Amino acid sequence: QSMSPYISNFGFLPLLLWSIYLFVKKDNLKNALFLFLSSIIYSSTNVIATLFVVNFIFIFSFVIFLVLNQKVNLKEKLFRILKTIGLFLLTQLFWILPFIHYTATSSGDIINSFTNRTITSSVIDLESDMQTTINSARFYNRTLFEVDNDEYFFPMAEEFQVYDFYKVLGLVPAFFGLLGLIFGIVKKNYKLIFWGVFAIGSWFLIKVTNPPLGEVFVWMQNNIPLFKQVFRWPFSKLGEILLISIVLLSTFGIIYFHSFLGSFFSKRIIKKILIFTTIPLVLLFSLAYAEYMFRGDLFPKRALVEIPNEYFELGEYLKENELDGRIYYAPPANNNYFREYEWGFWGSQFISYIVPNPIMDMSSAIGSDVSENALLEINNVVRNGNADRFKKLLDQYDVEYVLYDESIVSKGFSFDIDKGKVLSILSGYEKIWESGSLKLFLAPLNNEKIYTEAISDVLNKDIFVKDFPRYPLLSPSGMNIGNLEINGNEILGQFKYEGYSTYVKSNWKEEDIKSLPTAIKLTKDVLELTPSYPYIYGEKNTKPYKQYNGRYDYYVVGNTLFTSNQLEESTSISQTYSSVGVFGIQESDFKAVDFKANLIDKKGNDCSGGIVTESTSVIAQELSSGFNLKGSSELPCVFSKISLPVDTDYVLKIALNWETKEKNFPGFCIYSEDRKECLNKEKFLYSDNPYGDIEVTLDRVIRKNEHISLILYTVDTNKEFSSESTFREVTIKYANVHNQLSINKESSNWRNEDVFLEDGTLYSIHIPLLFGDTSYIYNSWNNENFLWQPNRPDTGESIFDVSVRNGQYQRVQNDYINQTVNLLTTTPGKQYLMYWNGENISNIPADVCLIYDKEEKCWIQDMLYSNERKSEIKYFEGDSSIKHLNLIFGSTSYKLLTENKLSEFAIMEYPDIWKSFIYSQEVQRDYKEIEMERVFKSVNSTFYKVKLDDLENRYNLVSIPQAKSSGWIAIGRDGLLFNVLDAKTRASIDGWKQAWDISNSTYDAISVIYWPNLLGYLGYAIILLEGAYLVSKLKNKMGWVM
């Protein structure tokens, strides 16, 4: 993070306050000009708008304080307040006016962005850990004690943390400040109360949730809009206000304290001795405390690094050759949006300060959901090495160059960079420049595109989306839908159609039937199979079907076992409609085997490491049935092979009865040695009582000769670091899968029917969840007895609770909880859908981390939303090799109590055929793009123009290489007439680029400008006029000759 705004604030805020004081005291032209110049210099601080908000409250209060102490009438006081604040604000309008538009249109994107969510709540919790009541008074902050490789960044951090001498010295200013306030009140110097209010108020907010009255801070977080955003790091916003207040108060405190001591002595010589002893001592101790300033250690070493010359050479090369296209900076940032460089720099990208081109990088994407999602998708593609998809994304986002930086450190806390994969992706690209660690590649050129109007992303189509669609084409897979939930066995989401009312029809053909997944529905005694696909509610297509008669307790469809109750609600499987077979099983077909005897004589194991340990014991119960499994290892277990007299493929059920101690959880796994995985996804069992009873039906069919074993676990989350569970019953039930059902009735008819889209109407999209080996589906109402595997607490002093409360519930303080569940095996080149529904109840939102076996970094990471319940859906690609994927649901607390709950989770391989499915009108128009050119040479220009001469195509889009925003306005010229293009012409190309539909128009030329910049230009004009007026008036008064 750049510290320059805070550095300028340190110098220019006091300067501004001094100029305000002089102007209020005597509002002559000289002081007005001083205030004017101080205000302009101070504006460099306002790069961080939240810092300005806090400072402005202080500045406004300071002005009122000064004016109220003036001996003038009320009318004059109001006039002086308005004149002072007005003179200051007029110099800030050049950024305030455009910023108002930005805040109104983009603040939601900033707050809800993944990057912001990963920072805000954790920073508040970290602040609570560091900013205690005493530390805040000492001006300590958490950056003071940051370490790297066990070495403090700040040179004197160890002294400040360890030695009481420095701890006491740190409180001296606050001590004298408090004395100054107390003596001021006693001596009726009430002006000091103003500084006391700001000193105490700043200290109160800097100490965040710590006592006293920490609950007040929590209340303000939850009830005052944007309070959490502004004050997530209060020290950075209020530290200088506290410092200014303490400096003034402590000065008076020293004077009053010296006067107080002197009052005990009548002799002048003793009073002089006090002066020449106390004041030098205070100065000496203050200088000792600031020793680092005199040792040249004002900044930590990592804050001052020398940038290698090749970065400047790159900037010169691009300028000299007039190469001004967009650059993608690779490898991607792997420490959230920070990078670490081998030559010493750590932080967000700095290239933009050297290179004139627009840079595509995560650090510049915060605040734009389009940009952030684009960068996250590119990151995923770079990590899995998909060169074809990477090329398409570069083309989609108008990237002309790729900058590869070899000096970026591969290791990161978000993920590790595989530089071999990055270079492999770029192997076919033309390298046009190289110096040192930098290589600049030319992105491949693409042919002219033909665009189709749509209201969602569509596979293998270049699309544009109009604000008011006329020829809507949509893909359920690409729709931006809200109000997400699992309803039945489908993900349900909604969208509002706003456009011309029209009919659309799906594009399915009869030959698609064989490739579609299968939907299953049991109605009375008839089981019906149909093709399964995402759809808009209200679709009434005639679909093929197969019907099977006969009522069974269980059905095996494809490779998946269902109970009859499950199939009374439509359920889909990943096996294709043309290849699936159906088998029926009755409850009476199951045979039971008491398996306790197979386990009692076995030796205990530690399943966390796969080695036998003496600390795990399996002891038969003497006075009752069953056995006790106990151990001090991380995951005590016992296992035995399962050998059953079967002659076909079969299915299993397992019945368990158990007793445990508090915060101990039993578990089981039917392990397949052939598949190298547990056939049951959820392993651990949960009950509100210390005992439980359950019968679990495995949904996967076991092959005849498959080698399987039963593993029993016990895991604890208590403070004793010992786990114990008693198993009273362990029964395995099995049934052969041999009763294949015959089709009783079927139809191959397929007819697509129209779906009416009406302007202003809310529609729902239904995405079937596909059960089977390539999915994992969790919802709280069907899994109330299953707990995801928890870790053990790090300390015995923390709050550490996991339970099932309408979902996986976590409650932790001063520790972390990670719950793990096995998901599926990903296949290279396949796309996957992830859905979650969760709630952050307090403090830091939980992480939702998809992570591969034996890896330490998340492949895909998401986070719950702060203090609310929300659902999200995300598509991603797996790694470039076959790997097993797991889920970690994790909550963290550095000090405050953290509570989170995950109610629903689903992940599945998304069928390729679904991605090509669309709804469209029978008639579609082919559009061509006309790219507008900058009027001015600067790449930062926001003024574009294009002449329209003899257009070959009837349907055209004019575009600018900028992200879609309501701030862009297009003005068409038709002869001598000018017209602002209305909202119905506005569009976005490829999901991001601003464009306008000019089909059937007669414009000669079109110009585009970003209108909020006009407000900025107005602000600059006001500064010039204000400055000219003050100089002119002062010139006339002083008699200057110009």
Nearest partner of 249 among 335, 320, 316, 173, judged by Cα? 173
pLDDT at residue 612 tops 60: no
**Other residues' Cβ atoms within 10 Å of the Cβ of residue 586:** 12
Nearest partner of 919 among 479, 496, 572, judged by Cα? 479
SS3 873: strand
Give the CA count within 13 Å in the CB-facing half-sphere of 42: 27
pLDDT at residue 145 tops 90: no
Q: What is the pLDDT of residue 1034?
A: 81
More confident residue, 781 or 63: 63
Q: Which residues pair with 764 in a beta bridge?
A: 494
pLDDT at residue 1 tops 50: no
- The DSSP secondary structure of 114-163, one letter per residue, reads HHHHHHHHHHHHHHHHH--HHHHHHT--GGGG-EETTEESSTTHHHHHH-
Q: Is 502 exposed, middle or buried (0-12, 13-18, 19+ CB in 10 A)?
A: middle
- Give the tokens for residue 643: 């050998």
Alpha helices in 263-396 (DSSP H): 268-289, 291-294, 309-320, 369-384, 387-396
What pLDDT digit, counting tens, does each position of 869-893 carry?
A: 999 999 999 999 999 999 999 999 9
Which residues make Cβ contacts (< 8 Å) with residue 947, sequence separation at least 6?
1004, 1005
The mean pLDDT of 443-453, rounded to a whole number, is 87
The mean pLDDT of 553-571, rounded to a whole number, is 95
The mean pLDDT of 380-395, rounded to a whole number, is 92
**Other residues' Cβ atoms within 10 Å of the Cβ of residue 607:** 24
Q: What is the pLDDT of residue 127?
A: 81
CA separation for the pair 714, 684 (Å, rounded): 8
Q: What is the pLDDT of residue 3?
A: 65
Residue 916: phi and psi, rounded to 5, are -95, 0
- Say if pTM beats, i.e. exceeds, 0.85: yes
pLDDT at residue 64 tops 90: yes
Q: What is the percent of the chain where pLDDT is above 70?
A: 98
CA separation for the pair 141, 331 (Å, rounded): 33
SS3 457: coil
pLDDT at residue 611 tops 60: no
Q: What is the pLDDT of residue 573?
A: 96
- The amino acid present at 103, given as its one-letter code, is T
Q: What is the percent of the chain where pLDDT is above 90?
A: 60
What pLDDT digit, counting tens, does each position of 149-168 carry?
A: 777 878 888 888 888 888 88
- The DSSP secondary structure of 486-539, one letter per residue, reads EETTEEEEEEEE-S--EEEEE---GGGGGGSEEEEEEETTEEEEEE---EETT-
pLDDT at residue 491 tops 50: yes
The mean pLDDT of 437-464, rounded to a whole number, is 89
Minimum mean pLDDT range among 257-261, 630-634, 886-890: 257-261
What pLDDT digit, counting tens, does each position of 980-1028 carry?
A: 999 999 999 998 999 999 998 889 999 999 999 999 999 999 999 999 9
What is the pLDDT of the chain when averaged over all its residues?
90
CA separation for the pair 267, 1030 (Å, rounded): 55
pLDDT at residue 226 tops 90: no
Q: What is the pLDDT of residue 1016?
A: 92
The mean pLDDT of 829-833, rounded to a whole number, is 94
The mean pLDDT of 704-716, rounded to a whole number, is 94
pLDDT at residue 749 tops 80: yes
What pLDDT digit, counting tens, does each position of 26-58 carry?
A: 988 999 999 999 999 999 898 888 889 999 999
pLDDT at residue 588 tops 90: yes
Q: What is the pLDDT of residue 367?
A: 66
CA separation for the pair 39, 56 (Å, rounded): 12
Minimum mean pLDDT range among 226-235, 332-341, 853-862, 863-872: 226-235
- Model confidence at 973, pLDDT cuts 50, 70, 90, reads very high
Nearest partner of 481 among 473, 470, 469, 492, judged by Cα? 492
The mean pLDDT of 726-752, rounded to a whole number, is 94
Minimum mean pLDDT range among 20-34, 282-296, 865-879: 282-296
Q: What is the pLDDT of residue 359?
A: 92
Q: How far is CA 436 from the centre of its chain?
A: 34
Q: What is the pLDDT of residue 399?
A: 94
User: Furthest-apart CA pair in the chain: how many Å?
Assistant: 118
What pLDDT digit, counting tens, does each position of 670-698 carry?
A: 999 999 999 998 999 999 888 999 999 99
Q: What is the pLDDT of residue 1037?
A: 76
What pLDDT digit, counting tens, does each position of 952-963 carry?
A: 778 999 999 998
CA separation for the pair 638, 630 (Å, rounded): 10
Alpha-carbon dihedral sign for residues 449, 452, 454, 457 = negative
Nearest partner of 930 among 970, 965, 966, judged by Cα? 970
**CA dist list (Å): 875 to 317, 477, 768:** 39, 9, 15
pLDDT at residue 111 tops 80: no
Q: What is the pLDDT of residue 2?
A: 53
pLDDT at residue 769 tops 80: yes
More confident residue, 328 or 792: 328
Beta strands 326-330; 399-405: pairing state: parallel
Q: What is the pLDDT of residue 332?
A: 93
The mean pLDDT of 378-392, rounded to a whole number, is 92
Strand order in the sheet with 761-768: 482-487, 490-497, 761-768, 535-536
**8 Å CB contact between 42 and 15:** yes
**8 Å CB contact between 683 and 886:** no
Q: What is the pLDDT of residue 464?
A: 92
First to last CA, the chain: 45
Which residues make Cβ contacts (< 8 Å) with residue 996, sequence separation at least 6?
957, 958, 959, 970, 981, 985, 986, 987, 1006
DSSP H/E element including 36: helix 29-42
Minimum mean pLDDT range among 178-192, 395-409, 457-471: 457-471
The mean pLDDT of 813-820, rounded to a whole number, is 93
